[in-house]
Structure 1
Amino acid sequence: MTDPDTLARQRYYTMMAVEIAGVAGAVFGLYIIGRSVDVLPRVIGAGIVLSALLMIAVVPKSMARRWRTPPE
């Protein structure tokens, strides 16, 4: 059985990794927008940025809600 502190630390690191991946996705989308000349790549870049920002805002909170300790 794993130690509760170790499990909490692993879950925290997982949530932070999701946030870092979202930031990396947003930066990638901004890079695509900045380097493109045509409209279609800019639209794709904007979609990547918006989905990454949504991921940053929603996924860690839902993970924390799912992993919350049940009331006794």
Structure 2
Amino acid sequence: MILKKLICAVLGHQYVVSNNITAHVHEYRCKCCGEELTDTANGSVEKLTPKYKETNAILAEVYQRRMQRLSSGS
């Protein structure tokens, strides 16, 4: 694990989208070391903490319910 973190420190992280919360909020994971990030409300990217995980889970539920309601109402 230390070698992977060293590689990321030298070459930089290789982030890929690991979870789409909404159309504008995503969670990212580094392919090499596994570090996780998420989009925040102000448009920046922050480390994925337990607080952000909980917030993203609630946001995903609300977003899914809204999408279902909009698709069935048309």
TM-score, normalised relative to structure 2: 0.34
The structure with more radius of gyration: 1
Greater RCO (CA < 8 Å, at least 6 residues apart): 1
**Greater per-residue strand proportion:** 2
Higher helix share: 1
TM-score by length of 1: 0.35
